[in-house]
Structure 1
Amino acid sequence: MSQPRRTSRRRAWTVLTLPAVLCVLAACSGGPASGSGDDAAGPGRKASPTPSGPPGTLFDAFHYSGADDPELSAHGWQVRTDGGGPGIKDTWSTAGAGFPSDPTAQGGRAMQLQSSTDGTKQGTKQVEVQTTGTNLFTGTFAARVHFSDKPTSGRNGDHVVQTFFPISPSDSSANYSELDFEYLPNGGWGSVGPRLDNVSWFKADPPDRVNQTLKQRLEGWHLLMITAVDGKVTYALDGKELFTSSGKYVPREKMNVHFSSWFIDLPFTGGPRTWDMKVNWVYYKADEAVSQADVQKTVDGFYGAGTHYVNTVPKS
């Protein structure tokens, strides 16, 4: 069961880019594709116009050059650098956020979240990337995510948490909302792994939530989906429904989407090790329950058109 972890929760963020660049909607769905021309990408590049698409849709294939790419900020993303929890406090760093080529990813590119530690706080770096618009509410949230069961280098055994979740902008909100996928390959909080926790929150402090756990090893790429419509929330993995919450355990206010890789604790020293989590793409459709097949069909269409970013979700 996912444990209380919201004390001193992330809320102070630093924008890690050049001054904000305004995104302009293109005149038609065939408009310029944001993120194209990757070979010429660089911190000095201006943000491309945002292509239009189906109303109420967010899609991002993470075709950026790095945390300082102006398009990352212009498209509504931030990389965390503030203190606080969860995990090892005051160890959040931009160093682990990258956007490398990846032959296993659709379109050959992915966002990489690389957390690392040597077992000491001083030698630990956690990573988190989030949207900043706070305008995602009910509908379908989906992401193609690569989980790791072991570090890419160094000794195994860390209590690492690899996550995808929409969450309220403030833990103290009267309408606090949070919907979690949390993968713990080695367990944590006294539990054994591997485990995928699916958690719907009503309140952060004191914790009030319901959850379900899938005890299964999940190394590799997976399609994670959260559908929140008609007074219930359904979690699905690769098209298989895992858990449904209802009643008070549903979204009550608009949220941001987060991806993160962090450590519950530091169980041993034993030299440096690095954990990689990857995100191929993220998709959101407002107010609608979209099937896995239709999500993938839409995503395939964006890739086929050379479109790397779409945002037609209303701002308020």
Structure 2
Amino acid sequence: MSQPRRTSRHRAWTVLTLPALLCALAACSGGPASSGGADAAPPAQGASPTPSGPPGTLFDTFHYSGPDDPSLTAHGWQVRTDGGGPGIKDTWSTSGAGFPSDTTAQGGRVLQLQASTDGTGQGTRQVEVQSTGKNLFTGTFAARVHFSDKPTSGRNGDHVVQTFFPISPSDSSADYSELDFEYLPNGGWGSVGPRLDNVSWYKADPPDRVSNTLKQRLEGWHTLVITAMNGKVTYSLDGKELFTSSGKYVPREKMDIHFSNWFIDLPFTGGPRTWGMKVNWFYYKAGEAVSYADVQKTVDGFYSAGTHYINTVPKS
């Protein structure tokens, strides 16, 4: 059984500095893509422009210095700080977002999402990083994600949700669309964990969705792929197909990408604890169903070329 729908979210937009704004406009308009990410050096005067990369492609290895890095905003990402749900309302914070080195990750860097709580609303911090382009529709969505089965510190037992999903910019949209990977190591909403839920939504309120649950412990790195093509959506984990939806349960409008780590409820006090989730890279190919093997081959090629960021997806 799929989980109840998350409550409404409201977007809080970050004001761009002039250099970041110019960079963002260049990226969104299909201008030269950065091949060096946050730590790339500018090209020498008179050098040829950096190739923009394959058309209809968004790729990021999250090589940023922190939530306030201008390149993060310029590349179309935002760390959520507004109110609303899901989970413990009004607890979204930039404090849990970071971009540390990680020897277990391809390329040695990750987006780190740390949710923490002491069992009280005041002592809870949830974390979400989302794209802001509103321009991802059909095609292939892929990410290498590290799930956690236990907290990095403190007592186990929280009903935590570690997620990767494209979603409509507004819950109230007439063409609402959402495609979920949600990992619940300890279950929630009355269910027992561990469980990985895949959910395709047609309507947020009242909830109208179809879902599938994989009851398996998934501590560690996994490649999550969603293909939305030709009237169906297919979810796969490390190349193994898990679930397919069709009919009305397919994307009907362009979406943003979200990575989120949050708590369903606060089942006990019991002192502070922190839950970690990591993202190695994100890849999107517009209008094409890309196999798991070809996703990894393409990503390997980007890493070999030293490419940390590409965005050639049309703005609209």
Structure-2-length-normalised TM-score: 0.92
Letter paired with 2:2: S
Letter paired with 1:275: W
Structure 2's unaligned 5+ residue stretches are 42-48
Match of 1:44?
Answer: none
Match of 1:110?
Answer: 110
Match of 1:45?
Answer: none
Match of 1:195?
Answer: 195
Shift of 1:10: 1.6
What secondary structure is seen at the aligned counterpart in 1 of 2:72?
helix
1:161/1:31 Cα in 2 relative to 1: closer, same or farther (>3 Å)?
Answer: closer
Ranges of 4+ aligned residues in structure 1 off by more than 6 Å: 28-31
Report the Cα distance in structure 1 between the residues aligned to 2:124 and 2:34, rounded to whole angstroms. Answer: 40
1:31/1:182 Cα in 2 relative to 1: closer, same or farther (>3 Å)?
Answer: closer
Match of 2:274?
Answer: 274
Q: Is the 8 A contact 2:32 2:50 kept in 1?
A: no
Match of 1:213?
Answer: 213
Match of 1:294?
Answer: 294
Task: Provide the alpha-carbon RMSD of the alignment.
Answer: 1.9
Structure-1-length-normalised TM-score: 0.92
Match of 1:93?
Answer: 93
Task: Give CA deviations for 1:232-270 in whole Å, capped at 9, x if unaligned.
Answer: 000000000000000000000000000000000000000
Match of 1:14?
Answer: 13
Identity %: 82
Shift of 1:31: 7.2
Report the Cα distance in structure 2 between the residues aligned to 1:62 and 1:104, rounded to whole angstroms. Answer: 15
Q: Is the 8 A contact 1:109 1:280 kept in 2?
A: yes
Between 1:192-201 and 1:29-38, the stretch displaced more is: 29-38
Shift of 1:149: 0.2
Q: Is the 8 A contact 1:14 1:82 kept in 2?
A: no
Match of 1:204?
Answer: 204
Task: Give CA deviations for 1:57-95 in whole Å, capped at 9, x if unaligned.
Answer: 000000000000000000000010111110000000000
Is 1:153 the counterpart of 2:153? The answer is yes
Match of 2:46?
Answer: none
Match of 2:5?
Answer: 5
Report the Cα distance in structure 2 between the residues aligned to 1:89 and 1:238, rounded to whole angstroms. Answer: 33
Letter paired with 2:139: G
Shift of 1:37: 3.4
Match of 2:36?
Answer: 34
Q: Is the 8 A contact 2:38 2:64 kept in 1?
A: no
What secondary structure is seen at the aligned counterpart in 2 of 1:252?
coil
Report the Cα distance in structure 1 between the residues aligned to 2:66 and 2:16, rounded to whole angstroms. Answer: 10
Shift of 1:34: 3.1
Is 1:184 the counterpart of 2:184? The answer is yes
Shift of 1:2: 2.8
1:5/1:31 Cα in 2 relative to 1: closer, same or farther (>3 Å)?
Answer: closer
Letter paired with 1:34: G
Q: Is the 8 A contact 1:62 1:281 kept in 2?
A: yes
What secondary structure is seen at the aligned counterpart in 1 of 2:115?
strand
What secondary structure is seen at the aligned counterpart in 1 of 2:266?
coil
What secondary structure is seen at the aligned counterpart in 1 of 2:21?
coil
Report the Cα distance in structure 2 between the residues aligned to 1:172 and 1:146, rounded to whole angstroms. Answer: 31
What secondary structure is seen at the aligned counterpart in 1 of 2:294?
helix
Match of 1:239?
Answer: 239
